[in-house]
């Protein structure tokens, strides 16, 4: 006599296995993001706001592509540095300023000319610049409004998919129950 596995067992295993795999992959991605963020000298989210508030955008551009000052994403290697993404180099450059380096004749004043820029704010800006250079061009983080819309869209799609799966499994189970009651 050959043992036959109930077909509902396969469907049930798939219904539990798919969400478990999604949660596992999401956890790994979150852990990797947290690990890379811990190596930064400050908070890149605060750094982005500080970058705009301190007036850095007037020379380096709102999207860090440069202008009067050199581009910061992707960062341009200037003649006075070996590693332009070294946190200490960035902190020192922002704190002390620069005076006509490379093909840029304009001087960057200490602290970007801002009287309100704190040491922590400088570290946050450095973290923001480093983070933006770790993200490949074209894959920069979404603005908050677009991120919210995307999240709502994908959560809705996920809920609808789970409802459809639940409906299909319930229909299958009802047919199985009807078949079993007919054999008795």
Residue 109 belongs to some domain of the structure: yes
Q: What is the pLDDT of residue 8?
A: 65
Tell me: do 162 and 124 sit in the same domain.
no
Q: What is the pLDDT of residue 135?
A: 73
Write out the DSSP string of 76-119.
Answer: PPPTT-S-TT-HHHHHHHHHH-EES-TT--SEEPGGGG-SS--H
Range of the domain at 169: 142-184
Q: What is the pLDDT of residue 143?
A: 66
What is the Rg, in whole angstroms, of the alpha carbon atoms belonging to the chain?
27
Q: What is the pLDDT of residue 6?
A: 67
Q: What is the pLDDT of residue 168?
A: 94
Residue 23 belongs to some domain of the structure: no
Contact 73, 133 (CB under 8 A): yes
Contact 9, 94 (CB under 8 A): no
Tell me: do 82 and 117 sit in the same domain.
yes
Tell me: do 102 and 182 sit in the same domain.
no
| Residues facing 75 on adjacent strands | 72
Residue 20 belongs to some domain of the structure: no
Q: What is the pLDDT of residues 91-121, one digit of tens each?
A: 998 999 888 777 777 788 888 887 788 999 9
CA atoms within 13 A on the CB side of 31: 6
Question: Which residues of the chain, if any, have pLDDT below 70?
Answer: 1-9, 11, 29-38, 137-143, 184
Contact 56, 117 (CB under 8 A): no
Tell me: do 156 and 118 sit in the same domain.
no
Q: What is the pLDDT of residue 122?
A: 92
Domain count, the chain: 2
Tell me: do 115 and 165 sit in the same domain.
no
CA distance 12 to 8: 6
Tell me: do 52 and 122 sit in the same domain.
yes
Question: Which pair of tokens denotes residue 131?
Answer: 């983070």
The structure's pTM equals: 0.56
Tell me: do 114 and 55 sit in the same domain.
yes
């Amino acid at each position: 006599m050959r043992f036959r596995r109930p077909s509902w067992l396969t469907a049930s295993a798939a219904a539990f296995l798919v969400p478990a795999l999604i949660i596992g992959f999401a956890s790994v991605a979150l852990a990797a993001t947290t690990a890379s963020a811990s190596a930064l000298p400050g908070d890149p989210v605060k750094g982005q706001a500080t970058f705009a508030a301190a007036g850095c955008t007037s020379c380096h551009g709102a999207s860090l592509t440069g202008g009067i000052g050199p581009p910061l994403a992707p960062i341009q290697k200037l003649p006075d540095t070996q590693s332009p993404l070294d946190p200490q180099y960035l902190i020192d450059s922002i704190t002390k300023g620069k005076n006509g380096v490379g093909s840029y004749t304009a001087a960057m004043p200490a602290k970007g000319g801002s009287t309100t820029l704190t040491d922590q704010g400088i570290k946050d800006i450095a973290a923001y610049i480093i983070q933006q250079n770790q993200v490949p061009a074209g894959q920069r983080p979404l603005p908050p409004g677009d991120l919210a819309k995307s999240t709502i869209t994908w959560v809705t799609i996920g809920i609808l998919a789970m409802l459809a799966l639940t409906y299909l499994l319930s229909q299958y189970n009802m047919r199985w129950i009807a078949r079993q009651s007919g054999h008795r």
